[in-house]
Chains A and B, each alone.
Chain A
Amino acid sequence: MPGFYDDVLPLSEEERAELARIPYGEAELRADTGVPRAWGEPGFTVVERIGGRPSLDVNGLWGGFTGEGAKTVIPARAYAKISMRLVPNQDPDQVAQATLAYLQHIAPPTVTVQGRIFHGTPPAIVPRDHPAMRAAADAYERVWGRRPIFTREGGSIPVVALFTTQLNMPTVLMGFGLRDDNLHAPNEKFYLPNFHRGVETAVHFFHLLPAALKAHA
């Protein structure tokens, strides 16, 4: 699939060292998902595969006869839905078109392959040494007493891309939830000590940000 990895921003050694601080690996992945073994691009850790490398997944595959009993049909069409998670600096449209072109290129002349490309979301990255990120890290540290670890999220937050592309501003993702908060599920919750710490962190951040930005300018 030529082109897919062209614009992938490589992980620096320093970045990999920071990501290695995250207490998540093969054992946690197995426990979370029930898979018998991890899988993925060789040479990268579980955390790097999820946050720092692109991925491609078939989300659904259908066609032909799937009902009860036997029906001897050669179906006219077969379908697949394919999602790709992208990392900086991949462009969603370009990747979708390159993938589709590749599939059309390798398809035999006995069929035609058509694709519908959905509206994508660009990946986002804010340099860890951006003054606003340093102000945020200092704010957390003052409240938690520990330096925050910088992490990469495998999912997308479309509004972050909007702020980047339309307003040209970096976004500080100052989360206070926990991994097991049951978002979108029954018994959603918020760990209250971190609600209160969150308010204090925001108080510090508002105080620290002006000086941090000024020192940078």
Chain B
Amino acid sequence: MAATPLEYVRVHRDRFLEELKALLRIPSISTLPEHKDDMEQAAQWLADHIRSIGISDVQVMPTAGHPIVYAEWLGAGPDAPTVLIYGHYDVQPVDPVEEWHTPPFEPTIRGDTLYARGASDDKGQLFVHLKAIEAYLHTQGRLPLNIKVLLEGEEECGSPNLAPFIQKHAQRLQADVALISDTHILEPDQPSIVYSLRGLSYIELTVQGPAHDLHSGMYGGAVDNPLHVLARLIAALHDATGRCGCARFLRRCAPAERRGTC
């Protein structure tokens, strides 16, 4: 009998892997409509599994797209902190399938490595937390903190229904810290923690010259060409060294000048 959570996870390693393989066998590809039932099945599998590890408060919550699996264990009480664990149970398509050495939805262990679609992104990584929760609940009957689990089925298609879900359930999702395992570490034996992510802006630009395409024999040399202008505009966005834009813009970003101001 395992007395501590750590002993428990060491004793049950093989079973954890068998369970993870069962989850990986469900082809929950969120972007392909023919896998809609598989999405439901994966959500249901996770809800059942979460119940089996000792959390009874689990729901498969519908969204305008694929469902969200939500669970909470608040037995540590209002004075204990709460962590919100996020993961996603949907996976990417498997094309080109002929390049797989073993079928993507038949999880296979070769050497020290488990091969399957979703093995690390993100079924395998979200499963880590479910097993840690199980280790506490099965050895001590409780966790040292409150846990909320939010498992999404649309991460690989841009999470279109996550923002409205979070907005709607903001009160319920309150926690001290969110915890996500969906990134990588530097080396197998050198762990790392990502503490900053870049954001994204996106523009589609249209340069309009004449009202319609023109014949260069009739108008060439007398009207400006939108392709030439666009090339000049784009060339103005960087200098030759790789700095963005004009001098003024560079001055503003010099670290020595900005230090201490933010």
Contacts and interface: CB of A to CB of B under 8 A. Distances in A.
B206 interface: yes
A27 interface: no
A213 B142 CA distance: 19
B197 A157 contact: yes
Given A100-B203, A186-B99, A188-B117, A159 B124 contact: no
A187 B208 contact: no
A119 B48 CA distance: 36
B210 interface: yes
A108 B190 CA distance: 53
Given A106-B236, A166-B170, A186-B94, A75 B203 contact: no
Interface residues of A, number: 140
A89 B127 CA distance: 33
A191 B244 CA distance: 39
A146 B236 CA distance: 46
Given A1-B249, A167-B175, A196-B13, A155 B144 contact: no
B217 interface: yes
Given A72-B216, A107-B229, A171-B178, A2 B258 contact: no
A146 B191 contact: yes
A159 B158 CA distance: 10
Contacts, number: 479
B141 interface: no
Interface in B41-89: 76, 80-81, 83-84, 86
Given A1-B249, A61-B230, A163-B84, A51 B198 contact: yes
A63 B210 CA distance: 13
A76 B196 contact: no
Interface in A13-71: 22-23, 39-43, 51-52, 54-56, 58, 61, 63-64
Contacts of A82: 202-205, 237
Contacts of A176: 120, 125, 128, 181, 184-185
Contact of A193 (B112, B120, B184, B226): B112
User: Binding site of B, secondary structure by majority: helix, strand, loop or mixed?
Assistant: mixed
A195 B143 contact: no
Contacts of B243: 41-42
Contacts of B176: 132, 169, 213
- Give the residue among B124, B170, B211 with the most A Cβ atoms within 10 A: B124
B114 A163 contact: no
B129 interface: yes
Contacts of B113: 189-192
A42 to B, nearest CB: 5
A173 B201 contact: no
A114 B230 CA distance: 12
A83 B201 contact: yes
B199 A121 contact: yes
A144 B209 contact: no
Given A175-B181, A183-B120, A199 B16 contact: yes
Interface string A72-109: 11111111111111111110110110011011001110
Contacts of B16: 195-196, 199
Contacts of A78: 206-207, 209, 226-227, 229-230
Interface string A4-17: 11111111100000
Contacts of B127: 195
A188 to B, nearest CB: 5
Contacts of B120: 176-178, 181, 183, 188-190
Contacts of A170: 177-178
A27 to B, nearest CB: 16
Contacts of A196: 9, 13, 16
Given A103-B205, A169-B178, A194-B188, 19 more contacts: A55-B244, A58-B234, A80-B205, A82-B202, A82-B203, A90-B199, A115-B203, A117-B202, A153-B183, A153-B197, A160-B180, A167-B166, A174-B179, A187-B115, A190-B119, A199-B132, A199-B135, A201-B128, A203-B135
11 contacts: A9-B262, A58-B234, A82-B202, A92-B200, A93-B201, A111-B208, A151-B193, A157-B182, A162-B163, A169-B174, A190-B113
